[in-house]
Chains A and B, each alone.
Chain A
Amino acid sequence: MSITMQLLTFMPFRNMKFFKIRNFFILILFQAVYLPSTLAEGNRDYMRETGKINVVVAVILVIFLGIVWYLVRLERKLTKLEHLTKDDQ
Chain B
Amino acid sequence: MWWKTISVILLVYVLGAGLLVPLKSGIQRAEPAYARTKQELTIRFYGYNTLFSHPSAEPLRVWLYFNDLYSLAAQRIDPVNDTILEATFVMPRNLPEGKESVYLNALIDHPATGASLLPAAIELRQDSGMVAVQLDSAWSAHPVGQVHVQTGFSFPYQNVIYESIRNTYFHVPMWFVLLFLFSASVWYSIRYLRNPAPENDRKAAAYAETGLLFGALGLITGMIWANYTWGKPWSNDIKQLMTAVALLIYLAYFILRRSFDEYEKGARLAAVYNIFAFASLVPLLYIVPRMFASLHPGATGNPAFGSQDLDNTMRAVFYPAIIGWTLLGFWIADLRIRYQRLHDKAIDLD
List chain A positions with a Cβ less than 8 A from chain B. Answer: 47-48, 50-53, 55-56, 58-60, 62-63, 66-67, 70-71, 74, 77-78, 81, 84-85, 88
Contacts and interface: CB of A to CB of B under 8 A. Distances in A.
B224 A67 contact: no
A63 B328 CA distance: 12
Interface in B94-149: none
What's the dominant secondary structure at chain B's contact region? helix
Nearest to B347: A84
A81 B341 CA distance: 11
A63 B18 CA distance: 15
A78 B332 CA distance: 14
Given A51-B23, A56-B170, A62 B339 contact: no
Nearest to A70: B213
B228 A51 contact: no
B163 A48 contact: no
B163 A51 contact: yes
A71 B336 CA distance: 9
Contact of A55 (B210, B225, B343): B225
Interface stretch (B215-223, B239-247, B283-291): B215-223
A78 B174 CA distance: 26
Nearest to A47: B228
B170 A74 contact: no
B33 interface: no
A56 B163 contact: yes
Interface in B251-294: none
A59 B221 contact: yes
A62 B332 CA distance: 17
